[in-house]
Structure 1
Amino acid sequence: MRFLLLLLACLPLTVSSANDSRPNIVLIMADDIGIEGLACYGGVSYETAALDQLASDGVRFTHAYSQPLCTPTRVQLMSGKYNHRNWKTFGILDSNVKTFGHRMKEEGYATAIFGKWQLQSYDPPGYPGADERRGTGMHPKDAGFDHYALFHALHTEDKGSRYANPTMLEGEAGQGGTLKTYTGQFGEDIWVEKTIDFLKQDRDEPAFVYYPMALPHWPFVPTPISDDWDPSQPVVEQLKYFEDMVEYMDVAVGNLINGLQSNGLRENTIVIFYGDNGTHLKVVSKLADGRFIQGGKGLTKQTGIHVPLIVSW
């Protein structure tokens, strides 16, 4: 979980001139994907050409691990501390924690976060104990990021969709932000576009973007590459869409890489792809050696904690 901090320790982070040549960093974290979901790790159930190429051009780690659930991994990764030192409750990040957003700001980086938050006011009204937890946690405006556009960044009942017609809270450091819904669009496309636009800005300092993806987390719904993609129609959740969701996760990464390349940013941008925990329990994927792997999300087994980690510069 301290990988990012270790990586930064190896880089020349001290500003040496007005023309700062330190690399940009984009940290992508997929939501619910074990190693069996990527072809470069031996999976054969899904097409992941962009991630396979990213691994081919960089380093594919074979011993990368996470916590078996979302929040424990996220608060551990963002704080650089194990959960017994930072844990409050599920869906909550301690408002007093110093995140890697704060650390990168201290090192002179422009910072942004686009994607999924789910670290404040997680409990819905009426949930046992909700009165003690609602309104607690860290608001993204206080998390060390200059700009943010995030799904599930306020009360649970306000979160809306993360996929078709996504709703996200958008704002800047110190500002509460506003909820915006992108009718007819898909969440990952918005976040990739915002990431590229942020990195394109003409500035003297390097940039750090944290992109905690929504894909391929349940609900399993159509994506823009699904035959029946139609954001104007009510969503019908079906397990069969998981394949499309994994493959659109790959499309999103590919679009991000292409955006970096077309804007002359790829050479000086470190791209990190990581997973927060194993695949959903209802999903069964196949490996090239013929084995079928059931997702282990939430379980303290290899299938719950062994995740992809790819780094490319």
Structure 2
Amino acid sequence: MKKLKLIIAIFVFFPLLLQAQERPNIIFILADDLGYIDLGCYGNPFNETPVLDQLAKNGMSFTQAYAHPACSPSRAALMTGKHPARLQITTALGLDRQEPNSPVVVPKTVENLPSSEITLAEILKRNGYNTGMVGKWHLGDTDKTGAFAQGFDYNRVISKNALDYYNYGISSNGKTIFEDNGSEYLTDKLTDYAVEFIQTQQKEHPFFLYLAYSAPHLLIIPKAEKVSKYMWKYNKFEGKYNPYYATMVESLDDGIGKIIKELERLKLDENTLIIFMSDNGGIGMDQIAYRPTTMEPLRKWKGHVYEGGIRVPLIMFWKNKIKADSKNENYVIIQDFVPTIMELIGDKAIPSNVDGKSILSTMYNPAAKFERGPVYFHFPHFSGQGGRPAGAVRDGAWKLVENYETGETELFNLDEDISESNDFKSENPKKAKELFSMLKKWQNEIDAKMPVKKDKQ
């Protein structure tokens, strides 16, 4: 009888064990306000990012990856696979600004990601993954909407002063477990928690780690011991780059290096998919003294639907699965990761109203034809970076931007003009009309909340 039970157990559990070994561990690292050209591998000659540069060399870098213009929308899209406008999370939670001199009143966002939404963590949990979240959640902090309630068993969340790198708090399961007294740099602390999570994993179960750094978001607070070399470089580059910001970017890079070394030490690097991305464009405002970064040649920055606000670095590494030193020129967007990861692990029960599209085929073969279809952007708000209410649609090379205050539109050809400096609307009114119609139809279909004229309130 015991032998029979043993044989049954082998037949039941061996396939599950085999499946766990075949499915990769997944680490998704999200930087905060990191610009498109802030990494060496994306052409930055000033910031030193050897770890991410090597990760790109060993894996794949995307030239046309998109997030959304602000923090919370991108995070909501990543967790649900849905467009932020569908979720009514279209700006950073708690930052519903109004502008007295504007002709419009902008809509309010919801206060948190509803607990009814099925998150990426919950999807992976039901597929046998251990789940961990470290860093900036920014999608709600109630008992039902915090990271611990949205599928993350291990959670170390910034709960106080997320933008102060030496005076912050960390919570787990909604309770404060650490308050800094000025001794532990926040980027380093988050790295330590990520390493701690990885060290607790057993090989018979795959894991998912969502590491959301707060760096290099303002406030610009670098580690003092790293600044001097960038000050030496500052004059060489005629003041174009910010040495303090560069120091913060390097600390971020250092942290990722520690995580990769730990994976190698534990022999987990062979079957771990690492994805690195930013939540929106960098802050390149000329109005800020000693501006953090430059978005050139892209137009504008965070808080805008122009390329500088939404085009971000994206690097993917999976040893012997993703082609080394490959460039992917297909355009993809952050909500694509839910259907992509679900296809990767063989889960076909995709939640309703998912807007993303699996990019798994182009991960494996960037040269293969990949019809992404249109991507939409909706930012009906005033941003702290000078952004104003606007929307956009990209379909192929063409992109249309709509100003929600005036109703005016612009048409750009991104294949010819990445800087969005030439408006083709008068030269190609048919294409402008086509894209405008697509944008309006999409807004209606997902019930996108729009600004309202003040005289119509």
TM-score under structure 1 normalisation?
A: 0.77
Letter in 2 for 1:42: G
1:78 matches 2:79? yes
Offset at 1:261? 1.4
1-side partners of 2:264 and 2:189: how far apart? 18
Q: Which residue of 2 aligns with 1:45?
A: 46
Offset at 1:299? 1.1
Which ranges of structure 1 fall in alignment gaps of 5 or more residues? 1-14, 122-134, 153-157, 229-238
1:181 matches 2:171? no
Q: 1:27 to 1:261 in 2, by over 3 A?
A: same
Q: Greater relative contact order: 1 or 2 (C-alpha under 8 angstroms, separation 6 or more)?
A: 1
2-side partners of 1:240 and 1:42: how far apart? 17
Q: Which residue of 1 aligns with 2:455?
A: none
Q: 1:306 to 1:160 in 2, by over 3 A?
A: closer
1-side partners of 2:275 and 2:67: how far apart? 15
1-side partners of 2:292 and 2:190: how far apart? 28
Q: Which residue of 2 aligns with 1:163?
A: 165
Helix, strand or coil at the partner of 1:47? coil
Larger radius of gyration: 2
TM-score under structure 2 normalisation?
A: 0.54
Q: Which residue of 2 aligns with 1:141?
A: 148
1:256 matches 2:259? yes
Q: Which residue of 2 aligns with 1:24?
A: 25
Q: Which residue of 1 aligns with 2:269?
A: 266
Q: How does 1:107-126 map to 2 (within 5 A)?
A: 107-120=127-140
Q: Which residue of 1 aligns with 2:158?
A: 151
Contact 1:79 1:97 in 2 (8 A): yes
User: Per-residue CA shift, 1:149-183, capped at 9, x if unaligned?
Assistant: 0113xxxxx44665224311123xxxx33342144
2-side partners of 1:248 and 1:214: how far apart? 11
Offset at 1:145? 0.6
Helix, strand or coil at the partner of 1:37? coil
Contact 1:93 1:137 in 2 (8 A): no
Offset at 1:78? 0.7
| Aligned sequence identity (%) | 33
1-side partners of 2:298 and 2:46: how far apart? 11
2-side partners of 1:115 and 1:162: how far apart? 13
2-side partners of 1:101 and 1:160: how far apart? 22
Q: How does 1:1-313 map to 2 (within 5 A)?
A: 16-18=15-17, 20-21=20-21, 22-88=23-89, 90-91=92-93, 92-120=112-140, 138-152=145-159, 158-159=160-161, 162-171=164-173, 176-183=174-181, 184-203=183-202, 204-223=204-223, 225-227=225-227, 240-282=243-285, 283=291, 285=293, 296-313=301-318
Letter in 2 for 1:219: L
RMSD in angstroms over aligned alpha carbons? 2.6
Work out the number of aligned pairs and report it. 265
Letter in 2 for 1:300: V
Q: 1:52 to 1:202 in 2, by over 3 A?
A: closer
User: Per-residue CA shift, 1:77-118, capped at 9, x if unaligned?
Assistant: 111001222125742322321110111101110000001112
Which ranges of structure 2 fall in alignment gaps of 5 or more residues? 1-13, 94-111, 229-241, 286-290, 319-457
